[in-house]
Amino acid sequence: MPMEKLDESDYYKLLGVPRGATEQEISKAYKKLAIKFHPDKNPDNKEQAEENFKKVCEAYEVLSNKEKRQTYDQFGKSGLNSSGMSGGVSSEQAEAIFSQFFGGKDPFSVLFGKDGVHGMGGGIGGMPGGVSFQFQSGGPGMGQMPGGIFHEFSGGMHGLPPEMAAMFSGMDGIGGGRRGKRTRRERPDLLPIGTRVRVRGLQGAKHHNGKPGNVKAYDETSQRYSVQLDDGEVLKIKMNNLLQILQAKVVNMTRAELNGMDGVIEAFDEEKQRYHVSLNGTDKVALSPSNVVLPKGARAQIVNLTKGTQWNHKVGQVIDYDNEGGRYLVQMSEEQQLRVKLENLLL
């Protein structure tokens, strides 16, 4: 059956919300449309679904940003384009926006088998002992599924195999069965299941470098992630060979027109210590870590601290970024948080 084509150019009408819509109303509308048109949910109409999905993500990316929304309300798309704030989104940017909306995870990876988890032990609900997860209601954020998307699997938490228990043991918004309303934190040093990543730095299998995929599981013993590539192959990879596909913000540039722009991190040059960032889906720039603000929920490594050197090379979760102070708040463990400069945190 042919899929409808979204021709509406007005961002509010495209999302189906009034111009005075609240942030919650915009998020709710985006969630519904993004899931409806996600290419992975529409294999028979993938090309049209992808175009619709990108348009929906573009509208949400503007209307969920206070500064961009204000510019759009005053001057329309032409105002955004002239200020360098927008120019459409690429497929990669759309996926990054979608993933970050769900706390850095792709919900299709866990629920619809995109990352192959459903094939383990006959599916999550079919694992030995059964598994029961209930996603709590709430808005988008780190490690938390927005409420009302998906509700429960069936079974009991004790049935998880070890490699998945390490991941699920800390997932925010997951409870054990219908009684499980408590909220658990994700482990700040681990990539959540479903995280979109790109392979990098492999020496023995260089042909995989640059390929995108999704985190499927984590093996505590080998300290390797199972990653299902988009081409279907599954690899066992250490974290330093994975780059999270994230949407980041450009700051502190002498080229003032670039400051405040959003872009997708596509690669990291180890030798030059530069992120390769795609802006507006087309322009690509090489930026120092001091010019890139990683989003909430990102997992990154502490580097080059001269005080508190015991934290160097340890991984933590970005909780927030203080624009005035120019520092991240990073969760290192349940008890420990650090405040570090941009240049002291690397993907």
Query: Rounded distance, CA 90 to CA 264, Å?
Result: 9
Residues 195-204: tens digit of each pLDDT:
889 999 999 8
Q: What is the pLDDT along the chain (347 residues), one digit of tens a residue?
A: 677 888 778 999 999 999 999 999 999 999 999 999 998 889 888 889 999 999 999 999 889 888 888 888 888 887 776 555 555 677 877 888 887 787 665 565 544 444 434 333 333 333 333 333 333 333 444 333 343 333 333 333 444 444 444 444 444 433 344 444 444 457 899 999 888 899 999 998 999 999 999 999 999 999 999 999 988 899 999 999 999 998 899 999 998 888 988 888 989 999 999 999 988 766 789 999 999 999 999 999 999 999 989 999 999 999 999 999 999 999 999 889 999 999 999 99
Alpha helices in 149-235 (DSSP H): 162-168
CA quadruple 259, 262, 266, 269: dihedral, nearest 10 = 20
Give the N- to C-terminal CA distance of the chain in Å, as an integer. Answer: 42
Tokens at residue 333, please? Answer: 């463990």
Placement of tokens 């105002």 in the chain: 79
Tokens at residue 147, please? Answer: 């409420």
- Which of 201, 207, 7, 198 is CA-nearest to residue 96? 198
Number of CB atoms found within 10 A of residue 206's CB? 10
Query: Rounded distance, CA 281 to CA 96, Å?
Result: 12
Query: Rounded distance, CA 257 to CA 250, Å?
Result: 10
Query: DSSP per residue over 63-89, as a string?
Result: HTSHHHHHHHHHHHHHHHHHTTS-S--
Are 181 and 136 contacting, i.e. CB atoms less than 8 angstroms apart? Answer: yes
Query: Rounded distance, CA 284 to CA 72, Å?
Result: 24
Query: DSSP per residue over 280-293, as a string?
Result: TTTEEEEE-GGGEE
- Which of 248, 253, 283, 282 is CA-nearest to residue 265? 248
Are 170 and 182 contacting, i.e. CB atoms less than 8 angstroms apart? Answer: no
CA 192 to chain centre: 10
Collapse the DSSP code of 252 into the 3-class scheme (helix H, G, I; strand E, B; otherwise coil) and give the result.
Answer: coil
pLDDT at position 87 is: 57
Tokens at residue 18, please? Answer: 């009034």
Residues 6+ apart with CB under 8 A from 209: 199, 200, 201, 202
Beta strands 212-219 and 196-199: pairing type? antiparallel
Tokens at residue 70, please? Answer: 């204000």
Tokens at residue 323, please? Answer: 């624009």
* Torsion angles phi and psi, residue 60, rounded to 5: -65, -40
Sheet holding 292-293, edge to edge: 283-287, 274-279, 262-269, 247-250, 292-293
Placement of tokens 């995280």 in the chain: 195
* Torsion angles phi and psi, residue 132, rounded to 5: -130, 120
Residues 200-237: tens digit of each pLDDT:
999 989 999 999 999 999 999 999 999 999 888 999 99
